[in-house]
Structure 1
Amino acid sequence: MSAVTQSSPSDLPSSALLTDHYELTMLQAALAAGTAQRRSVFELFGRRLPEGRRYGVVAGVGRALDLVERFRFDDAVLGFLDEARVVDEQTLAWLADYEFTGDVWGYAEGETYFPYSPLLVVEASFAEAVVLETLLLSVYNHDSAIASAASRMTWAAQGRPCIEMGSRRTHEEAAVAAARAAYVAGFDTTSNLAAGRRHGIPTAGTSAHSFTLLHDTEADAFRAQVDSLGRGTTLLVDTYDVAEAVRLGVEVAGPGLGAVRLDSGDLGVLAHQVRAQLDALGAGETRIVVTSDLDEHAIAALAAAPVDGYGVGTQLVTGSGHPTSGFVYKLVAREDDAGTMVPVAKKSKDKGSVGGRKFALRRRGPDGTAQAEVVGIGAAPADDGDDRSLLVPLVRDGEVVGREPLADARARHLASRDELPLPARQLSKGQPAIETIHLDA
């Protein structure tokens, strides 16, 4: 297991083409019409939680800030846009000098959210803000979906450690982002080394079935692993016969064997059998780690089994059935010809939005338990001690001010989740754990 200093955003290439073509065609038309510099407010939010979920988790904030900081149109990017005739010369000239100079407020990373929570409030000219739409949505939709699933899994695990190991089940870059989001939501380690390097997440891993199959006997494989990695290693014991492998593992490593891993079969039954066998062999401190396509429901079902840790892959990196969060990025206010900010909103059926720049509060009862998400237009009411403000500054005058260590986001998530009422813990499908109350201006 190891952790290293994360990479700087300046080490990475421009993020300006991580967007949709229509962002730049809107920009071109607005520049021609003279409306591109109108002051605007965009908000990123979800109209509903993924079906059946009781709460969501905000993740990707730090990644998004890094990408906004790298959102520059360098010569290579401008050359592509010119050659592909994406935009005209006037727009190319504007993009060459692009730099976000506005303000961004948002929910801090790790915070829980509910329908219509204004997770991001972007205040800038229309031109500066509109081109960030796809970039922000792609990060928030993915990372929050993974973190929301991971949160349910770590809650179901009841304090037992969870290992993220889904890299082989998703796109290579999505795997790194998923490892980061899972760590925010309580996972302890990741198998992904790129996530360890970029984000400072502790990494862990031992061996697969191929390592056992490489050797002439299972005992030879175990000896090779223990000789190389030490007696505290984790041995995979279900390549052939589980009981025989457990016996061999303790014989090779002694009672100080760190752990055994079960990757198939009825994990609950096997865990009880293996625990009894380990205890009988004098390996009472040897831990049992289980894997095999686990999700939050499978983890919860193993609560009474003598399991010491969970390795989760496919279900985690696919959001446990909800691979996206359904967020949108909408213009909610803009400057009129007189220079006054006016609310605007989409009114189409089933996809409406609420105009006006929002505030957001978490209303809590006398015991500190969350009771409602309060979203309103205009200035937030005076703090009465029960309403916790949710929007924090992330970017001020184009400068990132909201960057923080992942450890802070991780701690925030645990505190925010613990603040929720008991129904939030239920894994069955249901309504959001708290209601969203809309206040008029």
Structure 2
Amino acid sequence: MPIKNNRLTAEEYEQNFSDLHPPFDSRESALVEANRCLFCYDAPCTKSCPTEINIPKFIKQISTDNVKGSAHTIFVSNIMGAGCSRVCPVEKLCEGSCVYNLMEETPISIARLQRYATEQALQKKWKLFERKPATGKKVAIVGAGPAGLSCAHVLSREGVDVTIYEKESKGGGLMTYGIAAYKVTPQFCEEEVKYITSVGGINIKYNQELGKHISLAELQQSYDAVFLGFGVGLARQLNIPGEELEGVVDAIRFIYDIRADAFHTVPVGDKVVVIGMGMTAIDAATQAKRLGAKEVTLVYRRTQSEMPCTEAELDIAKLDGCSIIWLAAPAMIKGAHGKATQLVCNTMQLGEPDASGRRSPVESGETFTLDVDMIIKAAGQIPFVELVNNNQLKHAHGKVVTQMNGSTNIPGVFAGGDCVNGGKEVVDAVQDGKLGARAILEYLNV
């Protein structure tokens, strides 16, 4: 049961990682769907969008063939609207709130309509925003992910010069490095970053990491304000015997390698177990299967009712042939010759609710064993505690503490996105970037 790469043909890789939700195949198809919309007053879909996109308006604009106006309506609220149309869990946001659900009818395909308008904007390079004259103010942003890019775009439109410091060699953050390749490609992410920065006044300095190449103190001295959007990214460890064995990998690293390298270069096992049931766990499991793993099993310590991922995401894993074992928690990893060969799990049962409101899993006293050659840990991510401590930022267990407007305990320093909320959706980070930019503009009296 070896862990190896290059398991499939080029054609199989292309098929396995093709677009999960293809766009409308014609203008006519988009118009038919747009004309289904009831254009609700006080629309619940808009209320459920973290960035408050005026959804009935942009759909109405599509229905009247004003696609450029539709894209502008989307981008005013969410400059990463093109990417979000591919990766947002719309079933629990806008589409989940569509009134058609109350009629037991299929909700409007809001995401596909959003993609229809925004991708044309990117492809045709529509210039939908004019930058105001330069104000002479300068702002530094740490992190070229959704929060940082959103903040930068709002600031730049108002004439503020922005410099983004990004530790990776490409922008996009989670969109580029942390999401399944069949949802959004690195090439698309690169196009989206270029489109966002094309407004002007935004300079991205790559391979620049806070705490390593630059310091917060230096940024404070050189800029009028600072926005921190460095996210999270440290994998939560299992802290069980055998975790150090060969074949035990972090889901974050596994997905990163798939995003950064060619599919055929990423090794995967025959019998893979993924620990966790969040979006990252689903992405890791489905991609392991699509890389050529023969068996993929998801292990989760609670039941389906408590899982962090959506039903739609779980269905993707099931359709890909992944198995799920509920009420099971890893207890020990056994190995031979330094390589993982078995995962011993405790059978769990649900007890009283924990601080999050979910019922806490407790051991039943029974165990079972799974044969494995690869274990992917997707038990969550933890904040950069050392980084925030070293910069004297007020925090709660590593999550930067901010006011409603994104301001931190340090005057002139703002923060948003995953480094504040601990890891939510891309669209939440975009909204944090917007709010942070507005607070910075007020702080700078722009």
Is the radius of gyration larger for structure 1 or structure 2?
1
TM-score (norm 1): 0.26
TM-score (norm 2): 0.25
* Bigger relative CO (Cα 8 Å, ≥ 6 apart): 1
